Structure 1
Amino acid sequence: MRKAIILAYIAQPLNNSRLKKFTQEAVAAGALLICADSAGEAALAWDLLPHWLVGDMDSIAPAVLRELTARPSVKVDSHPAEKDETDLELAIERALSEGATEITIVGGVGGRLDHTLGNLYLLAMPSLARSKARVRILSENEEVFLLSPDDSPLLLEGKKGELVSLFPFNGDATGVYTENLYYPLRHETLYFGPSRGISNVMLAESAEISLEEGRLLIIHTFAQS
């Protein structure tokens, strides 16, 4: 299994953050590090060098871009500003072309709502489905998964009392089954539109979710430390 970390937009790359700790530990363990455009700034702030810098380079600070492109170990995948894909989408495609089978997108939520929604929808990219790569979005306060029947069951690890929300994605989700959540679902349907699946609660340090048809967008909110 080859792991890839994709740094997306991070508003404030804090030194004491969950994201910094996770990224540094993953890269030290051998994960591929890909930065989407201005996320190269977060990498440098965390004393990391990406293996790939991907995007149109329209938002990264010029000084950071010069520093990264001057490093022989950093490969640059540059694209024109007028393109059909976002920088994050291009970074995901780069991770897949490098053989990644487990991808964590670090950041990419918060800030502009259109970018946040667009990044969530990238979890449904056809190339990700074809590759069968495991993928999640990790922010400072939550992690996000898109679960399909082929991926079931999903094991969430966390703390008792943490929130888990289930959103049917682009249609009804049927045969939804959960373990160790306060409001249990036993092969039930979550309908596209109503908010029944929001704010469930973990009863233990792990919870399990599966479904038979459709897809679920799952948001696991971490306890504030």
Structure 2
Amino acid sequence: MAPIRTARTPLPTCVVFAAGEYYHEPIDVPPGAFVVAADGGYDHARELGVQVDAVVGDFDSVHSARSAIGAETVALPPQKDDPDLLSALKIGWAHGGRAFHIYGGLGGRVDHTISNIQQLAFIAAHGGIAFLHGAGQIVTAICDAALTFPPHPVHGTQYISVFAHSDEARGVDERGLAYELHDATMTNLQVNGLSNEFVDGLGAEVRVRRGLLTVVFDAAAPLPTLVGAPAAAGTLGAPSTHVSAALADRG
């Protein structure tokens, strides 16, 4: 059995700037966080006055000159298996990050948003956690673990929705919410976790004993704590620099 992480141990933080929408919302870069920009995300970081530690991508959407970046730069070819954001996550992981806060990863093209949500699940499956911030909401994923939300004031309605990301998610609990769920089995072909609500002054927990969940919650809620996840993997692998042999190139 994989060792279990101590419930309240803070995870090393990595902040990632992607190239999508930013919604004029506040950006939080905790002291000591490792900061990575994924391609065009570097322009957003510059505009916000954030010093980045690394920039990665094929630089097809960066307006700044690469020579002026002044940070660790990882140049990738335009054709490769990994999207630039996944390469940024791999670099952040290699630098010790296990909790990722991603800005500019929601909105715009739907296919990019779906890809980014898949990457949340990828991080969760390796024992970390990642949050996509934007448009007044936060998206995350957990694997064989729980999210605990502290008690907080709720003015009006604060939504939280839970979906199975894996084929099945077993032993799903939703506690401390307006509608409680106990030891449920959810599937990725069934929608039965949409639009639950936080309760004023009450702590909440979302747990899955086996499987992957995608969780979407109101950004007005406090960030949750990851509890009971298996020990984090040592590596996510190197950023991709090629396309798989199964892909036919008509060029």
The normalised TM-score by structure 1 is 0.84
Contact 2:100/2:131 (8 A) holds in 1? yes
CA-based RMSD of the aligned residues comes to 2.1
Equivalent residue, structure 2, for 1:195: 191
Tell me which protein shows more helix as a share of its residues: 1
Equivalent residue, structure 1, for 2:68: 70
The alignment partner of 2:209 has SS state of coil
Contact 1:163/1:222 (8 A) holds in 2? no
Q: Say whether residues 1:184 and 2:170 are aligned partners.
A: no
The normalised TM-score by structure 2 is 0.76
Q: CA deviation at 1:169?
A: 0.9
Give every structure 1 segment of 4 or more consecutive aligned residues whose post-TM-superposition deviation is greater than 6 Å: none
Q: Say whether residues 1:37 and 2:39 are aligned partners.
A: yes
What does the per-residue CA deviation read over 1:40-81, in whole Å, with 9 as the maximum and x for residues that have no partner? 1111111112110110000111xx234xx3254x11111111
- Residues 209 and 201 (structure 1 numbering): CA distance in 2 closer, same or farther, change over 3 Å? same
Q: Say whether residues 1:49 and 2:51 are aligned partners.
A: yes
Identify which of structures 1 and 2 has the higher relative contact order when contacts are C-alpha pairs closer than 8 Å and 6+ apart: 2
- In the alignment, residue 112 of structure 2 is paired with which amino acid? H
In structure 2, C-alpha distance between the alignment counterparts of 1:43 and 1:9, rounded to whole Å: 10
Contact 2:129/2:141 (8 A) holds in 1? no
In structure 2, C-alpha distance between the alignment counterparts of 1:175 and 1:71, rounded to whole Å: 47
In structure 1, C-alpha distance between the alignment counterparts of 2:19 and 2:166, rounded to whole Å: 25
- Residues 70 and 191 (structure 1 numbering): CA distance in 2 closer, same or farther, change over 3 Å? closer
- Residues 128 and 65 (structure 1 numbering): CA distance in 2 closer, same or farther, change over 3 Å? farther
What does the per-residue CA deviation read over 1:11-44, in whole Å, with 9 as the maximum and x for residues that have no partner? 3563xx22x3x13xx2xx1111100000111111
In structure 1, C-alpha distance between the alignment counterparts of 2:47 and 2:23, rounded to whole Å: 7
- Residues 142 and 54 (structure 1 numbering): CA distance in 2 closer, same or farther, change over 3 Å? same
Contact 1:180/1:204 (8 A) holds in 2? no
Equivalent residue, structure 2, for 1:2: 12
- In the alignment, residue 12 of structure 2 is paired with which amino acid? R
Q: Percent identity?
A: 25
Q: Say whether residues 1:96 and 2:93 are aligned partners.
A: yes
Equivalent residue, structure 1, for 2:212: 215
Q: CA deviation at 1:170?
A: 2.7
Equivalent residue, structure 1, for 2:160: 164
Q: CA deviation at 1:215?
A: 1.4
- Residues 189 and 13 (structure 1 numbering): CA distance in 2 closer, same or farther, change over 3 Å? closer
> What residue ranges of structure 2 are gaps of 5+ in the alignment?
1-10, 222-251
What does the per-residue CA deviation read over 1:162-192, in whole Å, with 9 as the maximum and x for residues that have no partner? 1000111131222111221111001122233
The alignment partner of 1:50 has SS state of coil
Aligned positions, number? 207
> What residue ranges of structure 1 are gaps of 5+ in the alignment?
none
